[in-house]
């Protein structure tokens, strides 16, 4: 199996002492759509800038398609298309002008560029606007133009930094659908966002970043399966022993348990089931001080991971 992106022990301290990344290990499988999620200042853009060799890490290794990029950045980045911020275009250029320029930069054959331009303009929904000046485009159209531009050389890895930031609801919808489509075509997506719904809709996996550290890494396919099942959050007055925790896992209906600063009992069933679980839990004689049935959703995980931030 190939990792389109892998970082090992990636750290970045900016001059002045801001530790933007601390020992970050991430792996993105080929074909995957990764949502790189975190609040402002978490280190998302810094990570992307390092992947794109726009800034150097203080420590650590970056691999693209299983190859260490050190000293080979140019060559390996040819297989990457990245959109970071809003591309600035001369107002009088048309999509056709821009794409043929990009084709020249990548030293692509003219007829290949023409064919590829047709494909990507079709994909991003700008075929009818191909001879219009981009100065007349809406923000959403410009963002889609930016995406067309990074696809011309047919890269296997697409890196997007907050791709729907600043767009109106219609623009957000179009760009999200477009990203899903690009992933369907087999390209790996590495996308940052601070929007939970965006990840839920687009990504197959989510990595949670906070203060430059990875605080979670979840497969959303598995998570969605669990959405059918439910969980109960339980807290006790003291930490449980391993033996006591095991007894929780043995309660009837409980499928598995997750221990963080609370204990989550995952179960399948209905309201009757939560009553039976509570009854059995009480019979164990453990010092319960909190019992809350909940459905397991991405938001619960988010709140669990970012609890420290939320309660600050």
In the complex, minimum distance from the CB of residue 151 to ligand ADP, in angstroms, rounded to a whole number: 23
Q: How far apart are CA 125 and CA 175, in angstroms?
A: 10
Scored b (16 or more CB within 10 A) or e, 55-83 reads: eebeebebbbbeeebeeeeeebbebbbbb
In the complex, minimum distance from the CB of residue 175 to Mg ion, in angstroms, rounded to a whole number: 17
Q: Where are the beta strands (DSSP E) in 144-275?
A: 157-161, 188-193, 205-210, 213-219, 230-236, 254-259, 263-267
Out of 9, 18, 279, 309, the residue judged to bind ligand ADP by CB under 6 A: 18
Q: How far apart are CA 301 and CA 309, in angstroms?
A: 13
The helix/strand/coil state of 44 is helix
In the complex, minimum distance from the CB of residue 70 to ligand ADP, in angstroms, rounded to a whole number: 21
Out of 4, 5, 10, 20, the residue judged to bind ligand ADP by CB under 6 A: 20
Q: How far apart are CA 233 and CA 303, in angstroms?
A: 13
Largest interatomic CA distance in the chain? 76
Q: Of the two residues 41 and 221, which places its CB atom closer to ligand ADP in the complex? A: 41
Return the residue matching tokens 């000293």: 71
- Of 115, 122, 84, 78, residue with least CA distance to 100: 115
For ligand ADP, which stretch binds (CB under 6 A), given 44-52, 63-71, 144-152, 249-257? Answer: 44-52
x/- track of binding to Mg ion for residues 170-199 (CB under 5 A): ------------------------------
For ligand ADP, which stretch binds (CB under 6 A), given 1-9, 13-21, 115-123, 165-173? Answer: 13-21
For ligand ADP, which stretch binds (CB under 6 A), given 12-20, 140-148, 197-205, 278-286? Answer: 12-20
Q: How far apart are CA 170 and CA 166, in angstroms?
A: 11
In the complex, minimum distance from the CB of residue 19 to ligand ADP, in angstroms, rounded to a whole number: 8
Q: How far apart are CA 151 and CA 1, in angstroms?
A: 24
Q: Of the two residues 44 and 143, which places its CB atom closer to ligand ADP in the complex? A: 44
Out of 5, 26, 34, 44, the residue judged to bind ligand ADP by CB under 6 A: 44
Which of ligand ADP, Mg ion, none lies near 303, with the C-beta cut-off 5 to 8 A by kind?
none
Scored b (16 or more CB within 10 A) or e, 252-277 reads: eebeebeeeeebbbbbebeeebbeeb
43 binds ligand ADP, rule: CB under 6 A:
yes
x/- track of binding to Mg ion for residues 16-55 (CB under 5 A): ----------------------------xx----------
Helices 169-184 and 110-124, axial angle in degrees (round to 10): 130
In the complex, minimum distance from the CB of residue 124 to Mg ion, in angstroms, rounded to a whole number: 23
Q: Of the two residues 19 and 300, which places its CB atom closer to ligand ADP in the complex? A: 19
Binding site for Mg ion (CB under 5 A): 44-45
Binding site for ligand ADP (CB under 6 A): 14, 16, 18, 20, 38, 40-46
């Amino acid at each position: 199996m190939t990792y389109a992106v892998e970082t090992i022990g990636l750290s970045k301290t900016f001059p002045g002492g801001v530790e933007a990344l601390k020992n970050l290990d991430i792996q993105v499988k080929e074909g995957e759509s990764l949502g790189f999620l975190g609040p402002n200042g978490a280190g998302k853009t810094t990570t992307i800038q390092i992947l794109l060799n726009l800034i150097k890490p203080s420590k650590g290794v970056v691999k693209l398609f299983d190859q260490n990029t050190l000293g080979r950045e140019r060559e390996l980045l040819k297989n990457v298309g990245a959109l970071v911020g809003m591309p600035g275009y001369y107002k009088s250029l048309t999509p056709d002008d821009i794409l043929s320029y990009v084709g020249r930069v990548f030293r692509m054959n003219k007829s290949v560029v023409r064919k590829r331009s047709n494909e990507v303009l079709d994909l991003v929904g700008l075929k009818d606007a191909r001879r219009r000046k981009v100065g007349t485009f809406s923000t959403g159209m410009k963002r889609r133009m930016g995406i067309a531009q990074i696809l011309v050389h047919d890269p296997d890895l697409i890196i997007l930094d907050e791709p729907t930031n600043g767009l109106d609801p219609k623009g957000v919808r179009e760009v999200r659908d477009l990203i899903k489509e690009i992933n369907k075509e087999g390209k790996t997506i590495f996308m940052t966002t601070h929007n939970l719904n965006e990840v839920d809709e687009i990504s197959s996996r989510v990595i949670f970043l906070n203060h430059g550290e990875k605080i979670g890494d979840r497969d959303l396919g598995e998570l969605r399966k669990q959405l059918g099942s439910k969980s109960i959050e339980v807290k006790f007055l003291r930490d449980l022993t391993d033996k006591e925790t095991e007894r929780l896992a043995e309660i009837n209906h409980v499928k598995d348990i997750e221990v963080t600063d609370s204990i989550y009992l995952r179960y399948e069933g209905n309201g009757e089931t939560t009553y039976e679980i509570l009854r059995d839990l009480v019979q164990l004689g453990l010092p319960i001080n909190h019992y809350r049935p909940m459905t397991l959703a991405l938001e619960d995980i988010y709140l669990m991971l970012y609890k420290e931030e939320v309660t600050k």
